[in-house]
Amino acid sequence: MVITKDTKLANVIFQNYHLIPIVSRFGIKLGFGDKNVQQVCNQYDINPDFFIEIANAFNDKDYLPYKKLINMPISLTVSYLLKSHHYYNKIKLPNIEKLIELLEWEGEEAGKNKSVLKKFFSQYLKEVNEHTTNEEKEIYPYVLELEKNFNKTKLDSSFIEKLKKKSIKDYADTHDELNSALLDLKNIMIKYLQPAKNKEITELILTEIFKLEADMKDHTKLENNVIVPVADMMEVELKKRNK
């Protein structure tokens, strides 16, 4: 199903429940009745074209939204990515952490098993937090400043020096450490950790981790296929103007 402005938002959820957290990131609350996408977006003051591209991208892995998103204000993508950070750091990861606390083992190794798992999870948590904090404090503000100056006839004097020193290309390959930490976490649970007594909790944790991984891969694709090329284009153009 391709989502359009006329598609009833409830039908979107019925067709793919994985879109519930995506819809929530836009600030949309459940209880929207039979309103279509356009009506709900109007109600919440959301750009419907941007919403449709994001929703379709998460609904259909073969759907490529990047060509259309590149032609929209980059601030829309940044705003969405910031909301994704909040979801990861304040909702998804804390929920996984709570599930880990529910795990139980039998025998003398019980405490050690939980300690090992918490250690690996804490490392992943730390790296996600550091990565997202860097993006929020350094990368996204710079990109928004790029867009602001790109739309002006004259560059801000304070931004000229920043433009000489920074390059969005330096940011493009910063996700490898996150992927490595997540792989370590999955390996310890699937291959090496003694099975927990309440194995259904282990299975639930792994399911949540794999969902998070898929979500973050889409997040990274948005950054690499929208933020980086658009910012790079603006950098090149602004440097030409400043000669």
Summarize pLDDT for 163-188 with one digit per residue, the tens: 888 888 877 656 666 777 888 889 99
> How wide is the angle at C-alpha 6 spanned by C-alphas 3 and 11, nearest 5°?
60
Confidence of residue 62 (pLDDT cuts 50, 70, 90): confident
Distances (CA, A) of 86 to 69, 81, 181, 198, 200: 22, 9, 20, 30, 27
pLDDT > 90: percent of the chain = 67
Is the separation of the CB atoms in 52 and 34 below 8 Å?
A: no
Report the C-alpha gap between 238 and 222 in whole angstroms: 23
pLDDT range class, residue 240, cuts 50, 70, 90? confident
Res 110 pLDDT > 90 = no
| Residues 71-105 pLDDT 10s | 999 999 999 999 999 999 999 999 999 999 999 99
- Which of these, 214, 3, 185, 187, lies nearest to 100 by C-alpha position? 185
The Cα-based distances of 143 to 94, 122, 166 in angstroms read: 29, 30, 11
Indicate whether 157 pLDDT > 90.
no
Where are the chain's structural domains? Answer: 9-63, 73-241
Closest CA to 103 of 201, 185, 208, 209: 201
Residue 206 buriedness (CB in 10 A; 0-12 / 13-18 / 19+): middle
CB-hemisphere CA count at 13 Å for 148?
13
Q: Using an 8 Å Cβ cutoff, are 168 and 55 in contact?
A: no
Please calculate the CA angle 41-44-50 and round it to the nearest 5 degrees: 45
CA distance 100 to 201: 8
Decide if 208 contacts 18 (C-beta within 8 A): no
Instruction: Give Cα 237 to chain centroid, integer Å.
Output: 28
CB proximity list for 189: less than 8 A, separation 6 or greater? 117, 202, 205, 206, 209
| Residue-level pLDDT at 176 | 61
